Amino acid sequence: MKKQYFGTDGIRGRVGERPITPDFMLKLGWAAGRVFGERWGSQPTVVIGKDTRVSGYMFESALEAGLVAAGANVKLLGPMPTPAVALMTRTQNAAAGIVISASHNPFFDNGVKFFCDQGAKLPDETELAIEEAINAPLVTADSEQLGKATRVGDAAGRYIEFCKATFGEERSLRGVKLVIDCAHGATYHVAPLVFSELGAETDVIAASPDGYNINANVGSTATDALSERVRALQADVGIAFDGDGDRVIFVDHQGERIDGDQLLYILAMHRMAMGRADAGVVGTLMSNMGLELALAEQGIQLERANVGDRHVRELMRQQGWHLGGESSGHLICSDVTTTGDGIVSALQVLAAMIDAQASLQDLLTGMVKLPQVLINVPVDDGIDLNSAVITSVSNEVTRTLQGRGRLLLRPSGTEPVMRVMVEGEDPVEIQAHAQRLADVLVLAASLN
C-alpha cells in the first residue's frame, strides 16, 4: 500500500498546511498511541523530543494530548537531538519515540519522526497501521485508562555521557582546537559539552536558538560561517550539525568543506586500520563515484541504497555491514549506535584523526571526488519521469557520459522538488547537462 502521510523521513511540511497542523498532530498522536497500545500492551510509554523551532511547542502539546487520550504515557524530553530521542526510547523501555523536527529545513517547516522501541525507524507496516488509524474516529479512552505525561529532567546528561563513551576511554581531545556550529538547533546545549569534556579547546557558533533562526545560514547545509571562523582562529577542524543533530559536516583547517562521502571514506579506512573493516559500505544513489572507486582500491564494496537513512540502515542490515551514510552527512555507525548521530559520527572521525595523528586532508589522500552538479527543480506532484521528452534527453546525456559519469533524476522525499544530479570528469560539461535536464523538467511540469 502507498503511504499517504509518511515520506522518506517521517511526516514533514509547511507549518499550518495539512498535515502539519495542530488538529492533525492531535489525531496522529492518538492514532500512534492506539497502534502502539495494541502492539505493546496497555498504557505504552512514548518519549517525545523536539528541535528548537517555535512551532515545536504547539505540536508537542497536540501530540501529547492525542497520545494520552489513546491511553499512552508520555515522557517529554524537551529540545533534544534526534539520536538522543532514539537513545532515550531504548533506555526508558518505551514502546516508541517521537521527534518533532524538520531537520535541516527552515523554521517555518516542521515534521514528525518516529522510532520503534529499539531506537530504529519504524517499519513500513507500522507506519501504514498508524495511517489507517488516523482515518478512524477519535475515541478517548475511559478516564481510568488515560495516560499521564511527565518531563525527564536528566535526558541531556544521559545523552552526553553516552556520546562520550563511544569515543573510547583511551583517547583524549586535549590539544585539539575545534569550532562547533550547532545550527541554532537541538545540539546547542549538548554538543559543546561533549567535546569540551573530552578535552578539546572549543569555540561555539550558532548556539543561541530563538525559535526562528534554526538552520539560518548556518549548520551542515551552510558552512561558510564555520569555514571563516576556523580560518580566523586557526582551528584544527570545524564541525557543523543540522537542526536536529543527526547530520554532521566537517571543514578542515583551511576551511574546506568535507562532506558525508569523504567522511565515510575516512571512517572506512580507520576501521580497516583497526582490523574492524566489513566487506562493504552502504551509500546512496547520490554518493559520489569517487567514493566507490576509492573504496574499491582497498577491496571494499560500495552498495547504493535509495536516498534516506532508513533505506541505508535496511541495506546495512541485509548485508551485515556496520557503516553507511549519505553525502549530506547523515552517517550510521551501527557498531556504536542504532541510528544516524551527528555527534557520535563526529567523534568517530576525530578518533580516526587522533589514532593516525593526521589531518583530515591527510586521511583523504586516497579519495578523489568526481565533479558533481545538483540542481533542485521546483515541480508539482505528478510529473512523469518516463515521458518521451525527459527519457530522450536523459538517454542522450547518458550516452554522452559514456560510462565516465552518472545521471540521476529523482523526487525529493522531504521537499517539493525534483533533484537533477549529473556526475562526471568535466565540470563544464556536467553543468551544461544538468541545466539542460532541469530546463526540460520545468517545461514538462508546465505542460502537466
Catalytic residue ranges: 103
Tell how strand 45-50 and strand 73-79 pair up.
Answer: parallel
Amino acid at 408: L
DSSP bridge pairs for 97: 47, 115
Q: How far is CA 266 from the centre of its chain?
A: 19
What does the DSSP assignment read for 255-307? --EE-HHHHHHHHHHHHHHTT---SEEEEETTS-HHHHHHHHHTT-EEEEEPS
Q: What is the side-by-side order of every strand in the sheet holding 372-378?
A: 372-378, 417-423, 406-411
Which pairs count as long-range contacts for 152-158, CB under 8 Å and 24+ apart, including other chains? 152/47, 152/75, 152/76, 152/77, 152/88, 152/92, 155/49, 155/77, 155/78, 155/80, 155/84, 155/88, 156/80, 156/84, 156/189, 156/190, 158/87, 158/88, 158/91
Q: Do the beta carbons of residue 265 and residue 273 sit within 8 Å?
A: no
Q: Is the dihedral of CA 266, 271, 275, 276 positive or negative?
A: negative
248 closest CA partner among 168, 328, 179? 328
Dihedral pair phi/psi, residue 73, rounded to 5°: -85, 145
Distance between CA atoms of residues 258 and 239, nearest Å: 10
Which grid coordinates are listed for 69? 487520550
CA distance 184 to 218: 8
Q: In a 10 Å sphere around its CB, with 0-12 CB exposed, 13-18 middle and 19+ buried, how is residue 338 labelled?
A: buried
3-state secondary structure of 69: helix
C-alpha cell of residue 173: 581531545
